[in-house]
Amino acid sequence: MKDKLGTISRTTSNMPDYDTFCSQFSWEKEYESLDGLPEGGINIAHEAVDRHANGDIGNTVALRWVRKDKSFEDFTYIDLKVRTSRFANVLDKLETQKGDGIFSLLGRVPSLYVAAIGTLKARAVFCPMFSVFGPEPAFQRLSKGKAKVLVTTTVLFENKIKQLLDRLPLLRTILLVDADCHIDDKVRSLSLLMSKAADYYTIKNTQPEDPALLHFTSGTTGMPKGALHVHRAVLTHFVTGKYVLDLHPGDVFWCTADPGWVTGTSYGIIAPLVNGVTNIVDEEEFDAARWYSILEEHRVNVWYTAPTAIRRLMRMDLMPLDSYDLSPLRLIHSVGEPLQAEEVVWGKKTYGMPICDNWWQTETGGIMISNYASMKVRPGSMGKPLPGIEAAIGEVEGEKVHLLTKPLEQGHLLLKAGWPSMFRAYLDEEERYKKCFKGQWYITGDLAKKDADGYYWFVGRADDIIKTSGHMVGPFEVESALMEHPAVAEAAIIGKPNAIIGELVKAFVVLESGFEANEATKLDIKGYSRKKLGPAIAPKEIAFIKRLPKTKSGKILRRLLKARELGLPEGDTSTLE
């Protein structure tokens, strides 16, 4: 019987044949498709908005914002050009300098998208934060990123930021998107400033290596790291939008990720705009029935979502094609964590097309390995490297990398350094950055295998980082917050496998003497951590433990806790205290 999971039928794919395309691909040639600034150099905002506004598709809808009540508002490329120019002028008025950190703490509202592009126009560095972060994660990022300006709402400011101001001396201005008047010299009304700003802005000379975007990502040790990306990254956004997401003129595209995470910025803002299509933004959180109605009502052609959402959709009793007209939909991609084979197969059965999994990280800035519209999908596989990207499997020993070339040998997933959207630094942490590279290879921290036909298969993380709902959570950040609770003597965090969200954050807590290991203490610690960290990071489960397993040198053996939790073999325990 023929494999039903054949290639996606599309005769006009931008990449009709993967192998042929790979052999002809060059970044330089693709770079020529971008416009560049009139005076030389390249700026993401110009490529994403201004060049389209000035050209043939100025009146095309760039952004369709679907409100919580499902009404919507359209912004054409010309509208976006005007608004982002005003925002850039506001930043100039605030005496923002090239390279300054402009942060946002916002839900998915138009101001977020205007702030992102406007910041890039002004050559400042944009750093979006997830709006459900608690005060502590927000502080870590604002402080480490030396934020000068924060764009947020009155409620988020009052609840999360105001209490931090004394600890953030560099934060000069808070721009409130929903305030009608200025609160004081520091806390200002964005709309008031925008109304007085000119709607034209000339982007100054921007070099490809000028910093543009800052995304924080978790590490096993220490607090989150600020991965810095440059304007040249737009080439990866353009190429992946065109050849992976297969975006065509006139397309409607929906990336369901929040811009607080890298996917929501690279693919929820930049890639669709650079490719000149209509980008759907939904203000609301996941709601299965709502999502199908958005796909139907807005005639979405390409949908980029996450395994967590797909698993929720799989829980529905209905066959969506019986209830919704999804005929315009021709391609579905997924990222965040590996898509299981049965989920890919379910996609084929449910939507008439396999869901294309792909792989990348905050550090890579864009999709690196993927299944493609024109390539046969192998369910459960990450796919093949993006044309122009060299990937490999290898063993890492000290400073040396030994490549593993036999099919299905398991090792570190490696990428040859130098792609356009490669992160250029961990902000102020040069040693940590250098450690990621061995010779010409970037060590991704993920373990994988490559089969005889060149498809990559994800195995797991090489470290203790937790992947929950597609987001990375570093154990150290959570443990540090828990330790501040008076009842907690010690804490260790693991990722506990979960059928819906991949892994959930589970805490093991050693109590201080005098505290009882009961439900009330558990709830108190849980409440405390939610307040401090926010629901995206705080532990979903807490268990008490008498003592934590540690190495003789005192390092917590999280992998042992995890093995015990899952009833798995404990592995090498020779270093156990």
Point out which span in 31-39, 184-192, 286-294, 447-455 binds another protein (CB under 8 A).
286-294
315 binds another protein (CB under 8 A): yes
CA–CA gap between residue 477 and residue 253 (Å, rounded): 35
132 binds another protein (CB under 8 A): yes
* Concatenated DSSP letters of 86-147: HHHHHHHHTTPPTT-EEEEEE-S-HHHHHHHHHHHHTT-EEEEEETT--HHHHHHHHHHTTE
486 binds another protein (CB under 8 A): no
CA–CA gap between residue 460 and residue 412 (Å, rounded): 10
535 binds another protein (CB under 8 A): yes
**Amino acid at residue number 99:** G
Would you give the binding string for another protein spanning residues 492-521, x where CB under 8 A is met?
--------xx--x-----------------
CA distances from 435 to 225, 432, 441 (A): 13, 5, 11
530 binds another protein (CB under 8 A): yes
Q: Which of 17, 199, 285, 570 binds another protein (CB under 8 A)?
A: 285
* Concatenated DSSP letters of 177-208: TT-SS--SSSEEEHHHHHHTS-S--PPPPB-T
313 binds another protein (CB under 8 A): yes
Residues 6+ apart with CB under 8 A from 43: 37, 120, 121, 123, 203, 206, 231
Q: At closest approach, how far in Å is the CB of 527 from another protein?
A: 3
158 binds another protein (CB under 8 A): no
Q: 483 vs 523, which CB is nearer to another protein?
A: 523
Q: At closest approach, how far in Å is the CB of 318 from another protein?
A: 6
Q: 160 vs 562, which CB is nearer to another protein?
A: 160
How many Cβ atoms sit within 10 Å of the Cβ of residue 464?
22
* Residues touching another protein, count (CB under 8 A): 29
CA–CA gap between residue 46 and residue 49 (Å, rounded): 5
What 8-state DSSP symbol labels residue 232?
A: G
Q: 41 vs 534, which CB is nearer to another protein?
A: 534
534 binds another protein (CB under 8 A): yes
Q: 158 vs 451, which CB is nearer to another protein?
A: 158
Point out which span in 199-207, 307-315, 402-410, 413-421 binds another protein (CB under 8 A).
307-315
Question: Contact, 251 vs 510, CB < 8 A?
Answer: no
319 binds another protein (CB under 8 A): no
524 binds another protein (CB under 8 A): yes
Q: At closest approach, how far in Å is the CB of 107 from another protein?
A: 10
Q: At closest approach, how far in Å is the CB of 282 from another protein?
A: 12
CA dihedral 113, 118, 119, 120 (to 10 degrees): 100
Q: At closest approach, how far in Å is the CB of 155 from another protein?
A: 10
CA–CA gap between residue 5 and residue 287 (Å, rounded): 28
CA–CA gap between residue 75 and residue 62 (Å, rounded): 6
318 binds another protein (CB under 8 A): yes
312 binds another protein (CB under 8 A): yes
Q: 132 vs 448, which CB is nearer to another protein?
A: 132
Q: Which two tokens stand for residue 225?
A: 């790291």
Q: At closest approach, how far in Å is the CB of 315 from another protein?
A: 4
CA–CA gap between residue 248 and residue 304 (Å, rounded): 15
Binders in 38-57 for another protein, by CB under 8 A: none
* Concatenated DSSP letters of 460-481: EESSS-EEETTEEE-HHHHHHH
Q: Which of 317, 397, 399, 431 binds another protein (CB under 8 A)?
A: 317
Q: At closest approach, how far in Å is the CB of 498 from another protein?
A: 8
170 binds another protein (CB under 8 A): no
3-state SS track over 358-414: EECCCCCCCCCEECCCCCCCCCCCCEEECCCCCEEEEEEECCEEEECCCCCCCEEEE
* Concatenated DSSP letters of 45-68: HIIIIIHHHTSTTTTSEEEEEE-T
531 binds another protein (CB under 8 A): yes
Residues 6+ apart with CB under 8 A from 526: 538, 539, 542
Question: Contact, 85 vs 199, CB < 8 A?
Answer: yes
Q: 72 vs 286, which CB is nearer to another protein?
A: 286
Phi/psi for 63 (5° steps) reads -135, 125
Would you give the binding string for another protein spanning residues 230-269, x where CB under 8 A is met?
----------------------------------------
Q: At closest approach, how far in Å is the CB of 434 from another protein?
A: 35
Binders in 324-363 for another protein, by CB under 8 A: none
Q: 484 vs 577, which CB is nearer to another protein?
A: 484
- Give the H/E segment covering residue 456: strand 456-461
154 binds another protein (CB under 8 A): no
Q: 441 vs 515, which CB is nearer to another protein?
A: 515
Residues in the chain: 577
End-to-end Cα separation, the chain, in angstroms: 56
Point out which span in 109-117, 310-318, 324-332, 416-424 binds another protein (CB under 8 A).
310-318
Chain contacts with another protein (rule: CB under 8 A): 132, 285-290, 308, 312-313, 315-318, 469, 500-501, 504, 523-524, 526-528, 530-531, 534-536, 540
